[in-house]
Amino acid sequence: MRHLPSATARPAAILPAVIVPAVLLVLALLPSVLSDYGLGLMIGAVTYVVLAQAWALFSGHTRYISLATVAFYGTGAYTVAVLNEVLPYGAVLAVAGAIGGALALVVGLATLRLAGVYFVIFTFGLAELIRQLITWYEVNVTGTLGRYIFLDVTARGIYWQMLALAAVTIALTAWINRSRLGLALRVVGDDEVVAAHSGIHLARTKLAAFALSAVILTLAGAIASPRWVYVEPAIVFNPTVSFLTVIMALLGGANRLWGPALGAVPLFLVFEFLSAHFPDTYPIFLGLLFIGVVFVLPDGVLAGIDRLRARRRPATKRETTA
């Protein structure tokens, strides 16, 4: 006999489809009522939502801790700085995304066989390597260090583009979570030996997710770059971006759909407050926060809430009689 969905299941399924577009509409209308400072905060918050979601797209399920976020973010920003006077803005974004994807394929083919601390160290070194190469090229070939970005893109335009990229990233993550790729990534994260014996092509699976993540990270840097007007390697390849992204994703729950966004927004606001009021000591607070997340909430806030609910849930009749 065919079972029909219960009446309570339908609203639960329909609710996200109603709430998410409404929230997006409200967020899209915010620039009309915010001050310049408020709009700047929103751009920063949405940017880190994109970075955290894109990082979790690969690392959330595979459990490969990547510190290469700023390598792709900075590459996108510097691509815009180099090409903004040569190509139309849309073409520059397309080229930036293509460069990020190509870089991810080259790097991924060489490094995704690494695991654990070796992968973490390599990805951290990748960002520094790219920064040093660009610095050397600018100083020795072009004879200058830093470039100006002359684009007629307003703060509102940057915000709307970043918000659209955030929506696309979350939608892509939701689709991947339900696809064979998402299942394969979860199996790889649990045990690569089991994944290989299950017929999963490890290199291809990890490379596909890594490349998708890198394209989004590169586009985020490209979209955000007009805010700076002037960029140089030390600015756009700041390692703090990579560390903050990891902490944000882990805080909310890197393997949850909304976890990275949940961790990104409050932590970005805390970071802005600390960096403004404690400019010399705020890295200490971030370090302590990272240690706290790892030890207290290793699976993120959402998983912690689920465990708390499970403990408070009254035992069923079967459980009490067992």
pLDDT reading at 44 higher than 70: yes
Is the residue at 168 inside a domain? yes
Is the residue at 23 inside a domain? no
Whole-number Å distance between alpha carbons of 109 and 206: 10
Is the residue at 318 inside a domain? no
pLDDT reading at 305 higher than 70: no
Is the residue at 90 inside a domain? yes
Share of the chain above pLDDT 90, in %: 47
Output the pLDDT for position 308.
65
Whole-number Å distance between alpha carbons of 106 and 112: 10
Question: For the segment 166-183, what is each residue's pLDDT rounded down to a tens digit?
Answer: 999 999 999 999 999 999
- Residue 158 maps to which CATH number? 1.10.3470
pLDDT reading at 275 higher than 60: yes
Q: What is the mean pLDDT of residues 280-286?
A: 80
Is the residue at 296 inside a domain? yes
pLDDT reading at 1 higher than 50: no
Is the residue at 57 inside a domain? yes
- The domain in which residue 166 lies consists of 34-313
Out of 84-98, 100-114, 201-215, 272-286, least confident range: 272-286
Q: Considering its fold, how many domains does the chain have in total?
A: 1
Question: For the segment 110-138, what is each residue's pLDDT rounded down to a tens digit?
Answer: 888 777 788 888 888 998 999 999 999 88
Is the residue at 14 inside a domain? no
Is the residue at 239 inside a domain? yes
Output the pLDDT for position 22.
86
Q: What is the mean pLDDT of residues 215-243?
A: 92
